[in-house]
Amino acid sequence: MLPADDVPVTPGDPAGGGRELEVRVRRMHRRDINRVWEFLKRVFRDVNRETVEYQRPRHKKHFLEIYEEDGIEQLVFETKRGAKFELVGYAEYAYEIVG
Instruction: Parse the chain into domains and list their residue ranges.
Output: 19-94
pLDDT value, residue 82: 83
16-52 pLDDT, tens digit per residue, is 556 678 899 999 999 999 999 999 888 877 665 656 6
Q: What is the largest CA-CA distance in the chain?
A: 55
Q: Quote the CA–CA distance of 46 and 50 in Å, as a whole number.
A: 12
- Rg (alpha carbons) of the chain, rounded to whole number: 17
State how far the alpha carbon of 78 is from the alpha carbons of 12, 50, 70, 95, in Å.
23, 27, 24, 23
The answer on pLDDT for 69 being more than 50 is yes
Could you give the C-alpha distances from 70 to 17, 61, 73, 91, in angstroms and in order? 43, 16, 8, 16
Q: Is the predicted pLDDT of residue 1 greater than 50, yes or no? A: no
